[in-house]
Structure 1
Amino acid sequence: MALSRPLRIGIIAGEASGDLLGADLMAALQARHPEIQFEGIGGPRMQALGFHSHFDMEELSVMGLVEVLKHLPRLLSIRKQIVRHFIDNPPDVFIGIDAPDFNLGVERRLKEQGIKTVHYVSPSVWAWREKRVFKVKAATDLVLALLPFEKAFYDRHDHPCVFVGHPLADRMPLDVDVSGAWQALGLDESHPTLAVLPGSRGGEVARMAPLFKEVALRLKAQFPGLRFLIPAANAKRRAQIETVFAELPDTSVVDGQGREVMAASDAVLLASGTATLEAMLAKKPMVVAYQVHPFTYWLAKKLVRVKRFSLPNLLADADWVPELIQDDATPEAIAQAVAGALGEAQRENPARFRELHEQIRRNASERAAEAVLELTC
């Protein structure tokens, strides 16, 4: 596509996983148009590729109804300012990456001004409040879906959607290099190892890290030789995690390297989210546990229609991975489930996870870039 000026792309990514998706997409677009320009809100990975972020992405990384309410005035102010900026300086296309509660409002206002809009990562309209699909249709010209069942949903509702696959499935090899991960982390593979991932958001880590520490203490008593590896998403999360786990023996907190940590481990204990997919792609036994504010959970129970919430179980449409939520997420129950994961309880999962990996390994960032560029024509 011949352009008389550099293509301008607006992007908002609301958290670490969105920053990763955005960086992959940017790289694919830059390979086609080296002079392309990007701006909006993004994290360190996107900024390393030349992205101009008008606000700190960390300000958008808030989850849960009660938690969001505390930050609502600032979130509304940021949204108002970024919408005004893009209306005054229209991009060729705007891409909201995940964060639907924030991004769909931005997209709707921009679409009303004639700016083409894309939402990358479908909101969970298939899981709860299905009528939100009409909000998505009003806000977007195109949805880029990471999972196959999402495109089928949008097809039923007659809205443009492209199943691009998942970039993480492209980044991670089908065969996991466990020895390479050990070497990258400087580990002695003779010790059994548990990867512990309490989340990437500040509030999430504040909730989950103390619970996971109690689990780790029980497991240490049961398995004295067990080692714990905890990846930290950034310096702020590292400080949080080190404070909580300071007195846990045989524990290492590392900067980033979440995939290496999971690849090097015998099993994974983690909060819900994208990390469950990464653990699946690493072909590792896992236990998923999560807690939110009690009112947030009460409301979710009223609205959510799906029985499963971790991505491996959603993709498989089966209960392959233990999921412990809210009151069920006790230190005793989680420790028992992790002990099973360290043993033989999930011995069939590596082969099953490989099949799911192949299903969503579609060269996602390239397909997403092609869809975005086609929309700009």
Structure 2
Amino acid sequence: MKTPLIYLIAGEPSGDLLGARLMKALKAKTNGQVRFCGIGGPHMCEEGLESLFDMSELTVMGLAEVLPHIPKILRRIKQTAQDVESQKPDCLITIDAPGFTFRVAKKLKGKNIPLIHYVAPTVWAWKPGRAKKIAQFLDHLMVILPFEPPYFEKEGLKTTFVGHSVIESGIDDISAAAFKERHGIPADVPLLCMLPGSRQTETSQLLPIFKDAVTSLKAKYPNLRIVLPTVSTVSQYVKEMTMEWGIPILIVEGDDEKFGAFKAADVALAASGTVSLELALAKTPSVITYRMKKMTHFLAKRLVKVKYASIVNLLHDRYVIPELIQDDCTPENIVTEVSKILDDAKHRHTQDAEIETAMKKLGLGDGQKPSERAADCVLSLLQKDVS
């Protein structure tokens, strides 16, 4: 069998991390006899990908936010589809970001390139009809939640549950004490980890609210320290915005620093997203928040069919982690929920126990890494295609 060429497309930081882990697992399982091309971020580039263009161009979200970027995005869709055809890969793996990746995949249907998508659209949450639509152009789907396969298999799309990649993030190997010592944070002072999102559309909505909440929290807990892990897509913006607060904030970048902050923190204030599961894995009590533009929220309320933003809450079908979404996301509510966690040890322990149960449902502790299962799936599909 020739050395396979795999074309990967990721459109946001979480997909970049998934793609990098998959690439690493594929290299391990083939003794390095695999080649990559496509679009990704810094993690995928570290694994050997030369990105067709900067992935940050694709990190926009929400109708109102996307509209100004439509002409450029359409050009990038066309450019990407043409590049895939010219590279003649053995398969195309698109990772999440369906607004971009599905449009590319549709252009390549019938071009004799196996089309694999990694991370299912949340048809269980909104627009269930999407399952039938994507079954018309995808060849295989790899999903990260155990209850997802039936939604797609009933539409004729072959689907494999591989597990949630957050399980292999390496958080358990990080020392909270070492993080505090490295940054001069006394062991006995409370630490708040603040996570306003990985897109500028998220951070621009949440940072003004976080500023007022943190100001009140600092008045209530004078010794409170604040750490803000950020990513390259928004780091400069976050630094510029928080410099004006007049409150000392430790801003860190990189996975080790981020996970160190999670392990060291007494409580986290986070934008809804994959980070909520990373915090759960770190056993960090958290408050989940989200704000979006009014037009986007107006549409979302009419489309979303689930009660919870957090996967932990969804798995338990009740509030384990407090959620402050849209109009509930106010400085006053944030202060109330963060204070409950800082002031009540029993409240913290209860959340910890419920989180541990949820993580086991996602596959924590079953032995094999999700990226390894995903790599096995891809290699199996390639072998079938060759035979």
Q: Fold conserved (TM > 0.5)?
A: yes
Partners of 1:176 and 1:282 within 8 A in 2? no
Alpha-carbon distance in 1 for matches of 2:124, 2:174: 32
Cα distance, 1:176 vs structure 2: 7.2
Structure 1 segment 84-233 matched on structure 2, within 5 A = 84-172=82-170, 177-183=175-181, 185-233=183-231
Q: Secondary structure at the match of 1:219?
A: helix
Alpha-carbon distance in 1 for matches of 2:42, 2:94: 17
Partners of 1:93 and 1:118 within 8 A in 2? yes
Cα distance, 1:291 vs structure 2: 0.7
Cα distance, 1:109 vs structure 2: 2.1
Structure 1 segment 322-361 matched on structure 2, within 5 A = 322-344=322-344, 345-360=347-362, 361=364
Deviations 1:198-219 (A, max 9, x none): 0111222122122111111111
Alpha-carbon distance in 1 for matches of 2:182, 2:6: 36
Alpha-carbon distance in 2 for matches of 1:68, 1:108: 20
Partner of 2:24: 27
Output the amino acid matched with 2:144.
L
Alignment of 1:8 with 2:5, yes or no, is yes
Deviations 1:328-368 (A, max 9, x none): 11111121111112232343121222222233234100000
Q: Secondary structure at the match of 1:245?
A: helix
Alpha-carbon distance in 2 for matches of 1:186, 1:160: 52
Partners of 2:94 and 2:118 within 8 A in 1? yes
Partners of 2:217 and 2:335 within 8 A in 1? yes
Alpha-carbon distance in 1 for matches of 2:183, 2:118: 32
Output the amino acid matched with 2:321.
V
Which range moves more in the overlay, 59-68 or 349-358? 349-358
What TM-score does the superposition give when structure 2 sets the normalisation length? 0.92
Q: Secondary structure at the match of 1:39?
A: strand
Q: Secondary structure at the match of 1:52?
A: coil
Q: What value does the CA root-mean-square deviation take over the aligned residues?
A: 1.7
Cα distance, 1:141 vs structure 2: 1.2
Which range moves more in the overlay, 362-371 or 107-116? 107-116
Cα distance, 1:111 vs structure 2: 2.7
Partners of 1:108 and 1:138 within 8 A in 2? no
Output the amino acid matched with 2:301.
K
What TM-score does the superposition give when structure 1 sets the normalisation length? 0.94
Cα distance, 1:169 vs structure 2: 0.8
Partners of 1:197 and 1:231 within 8 A in 2? yes
Partners of 1:218 and 1:335 within 8 A in 2? yes
Q: Secondary structure at the match of 1:74?
A: helix
Partner of 2:313: 313
Residue ranges of structure 2 left out of the alignment (5+ in a row): none
Partner of 2:269: 269
Deviations 1:281-304 (A, max 9, x none): 111111111111101000011111
Indicate which of 355, 370, 376 corresponds to 1:370: 376
Which range moves more in the overlay, 149-158 or 221-230? 149-158
Alpha-carbon distance in 2 for matches of 1:313, 1:155: 25
Alpha-carbon distance in 1 for matches of 2:11, 2:69: 14
Alpha-carbon distance in 1 for matches of 2:80, 2:331: 42
Alpha-carbon distance in 2 for matches of 1:183, 1:10: 42
Which range moves more in the overlay, 293-302 or 137-146? 137-146
Cα distance, 1:315 vs structure 2: 2.5
Percent pairwise identity: 39
Output the amino acid matched with 1:376.
L
Cα distance, 1:253 vs structure 2: 0.7
- Call closer, same or farther: CA 1:174–1:352 in 2, change over 3 Å: farther
Alpha-carbon distance in 1 for matches of 2:92, 2:181: 41
Alignment of 1:75 with 2:73, yes or no, is yes
Q: Secondary structure at the match of 2:149?
A: helix
Alpha-carbon distance in 2 for matches of 1:307, 1:339: 24
Indicate which of 12, 17, 30 corresponds to 2:14: 17
Alpha-carbon distance in 1 for matches of 2:93, 2:246: 42
Alpha-carbon distance in 1 for matches of 2:236, 2:91: 38
Output the amino acid matched with 1:237.
V
